[in-house]
Amino acid sequence: MIEDPSELDFLLPEIMEDYNAGAEFFSTHVLPEYVILEDLQLQGRDLALFLTFTCVTNHIHDGTQDSKKTDGPNGLWRICANLWKQHRWTFLPEKLVDEDRKDELVELFGSLELMDHRDPDWWYRNAQTLGTKWDGDPRNLLEAPMIESDTVDDPSYDAPAIEKAVQSNDFPALGGEKIRPLWLRLMHEEVHELRRIEEVHIPVDFHIVGMTNRLHSNGKQFSQYDADDKETLRTFWQLLCQRNELVPVQVDKPLWLLNKYWEDGGRVYVAKKLGDLRKR
């Protein structure tokens, strides 16, 4: 689809502009997390906890080896919203951990097809770490990562410092290469603005791999299961965003939507954009 690599330097900023304006394709296609956040209307600690634990579940299902569905009534965002409404204790470290309710969590998650056998353990361990070190509040982690940084004097609300803290502590799934940047973007946008968010790499998943494959035309097909391919794409999108003064974790949003809805307007939208660019 892309005839010359330089076309992306013109295409990507225009896509981002349309996304931010909710224009054209993006007037009718919305990320599932924002549908749920509009429904729940959470604030403060509740919002930070809901986003954090929902992100923990956003990984490849161990049984099917497929990415979990995130949208719709059976998607993880709706499932976790229902958990919040019906079993709020699962999101509260002081209830889940301090009252030693792990067995209840295992039983509850066992009744949810979306969850695999790792989810209750990972969820519980994230709650333990938050409760032990940050008083059960992700906002405290953002404010005081409690990590030494070689690149910044004050790690408070510093995205790379928070990344380091999450990777250095027992935050299974949340510390992973895909979920960590997604979580940081949500913290930055919904909870508290983070400095140096532009240094956080794009969360390479099924949709970012798929959209990259759709855009380039050199015959190479990247795989979401190949570690080298994923690292190549992190570097590729990081450099492309740097050249165009864009933020990788925010560029992720329109790319995700375009790939997911490629046959429902995405293909036509990108083709039209490229056609218009080539006429200039």
Query: pLDDT by residue (tens digit) across 78-94?
Result: 999 999 999 999 999 99
pLDDT greater at residue 126 or residue 217: 126
Phi, psi of 198 (to 5 degrees): -65, -15
Is the domain of 40 the same as that of 78?
A: yes
The rounded percent of the chain whose pLDDT value lies above 70 is 98
Both 210 and 191 in one domain: the answer is no
Q: Is residue 218 part of a domain?
A: yes
Q: Are residues 131 and 99 in the same domain?
A: yes
Last residue of a domain, one of 146, 176, 197: 197
Number of domains, the chain: 2
Which H or E run includes 248?
A: helix 248-260
222: tokens are 């990247």
Confidence band, pLDDT 50/70/90 cuts, at residue 147: confident
Residue 267 lies in a domain: yes
60 within a domain of the structure (yes/no): yes
Is residue 76 included in any domain, yes or no?
A: yes
User: What value does the mean pLDDT take over residues 174-183?
Assistant: 96
Q: Which pLDDT score is estimated for 150?
A: 64
Within a domain: 234: yes
Note whether 16 and 135 are same-domain residues.
Answer: no
Tell whether 45 is covered by a domain. yes
Measuring CA to CA, which residue among 118, 87, 116 is closest to residue 104?
87
The answer on 146 and 19 residing in a single domain is: no
Is 2 inside a domain boundary? no
* Residue 28 to residue 80: CA distance in whole angstroms: 24
CB–CB of 200/249 below 8 Å?
Answer: yes
Do 257 and 175 belong together in one domain? Answer: no
Domain of residue 193, residue span: 32-197
Claim to verify: residue 164 and residue 38 sit in the same structural domain: yes
Each residue's pLDDT tens digit, 1-33: 887 888 999 999 999 999 999 999 999 999 999
Q: Are both 19 and 76 inside the same structural domain?
A: no
Domain boundary among 128, 162, 197: 197
With 0.75 as the threshold, say if the pTM is over it: yes
What is the predicted pLDDT for the residue at 2? 82
Q: How confident is the model at residue 149 (pLDDT cuts 50, 70, 90)?
A: low
On whether both 154 and 259 belong to a single domain, the answer is no
Last residue of a domain, one of 147, 173, 197: 197
- Whole-angstrom Cα distance, residue 83 to residue 81? 5
Residue 1 covered by a domain: no
DSSP class of residue 222? Answer: -
- For residues 123 and 150, state if they share a domain: yes
* Least confident span in 32-36, 71-75, 220-224: 220-224
- C-alpha to C-alpha distance for 69 and 110, rounded to whole angstroms: 17
Are residues 166 and 220 part of one domain? Answer: no
Of 251, 211, 212, nearest to 232 by C-alpha is: 212
One domain for residues 186 and 231: no
Q: How far apart are CA 63 and CA 192, in angstroms?
A: 35
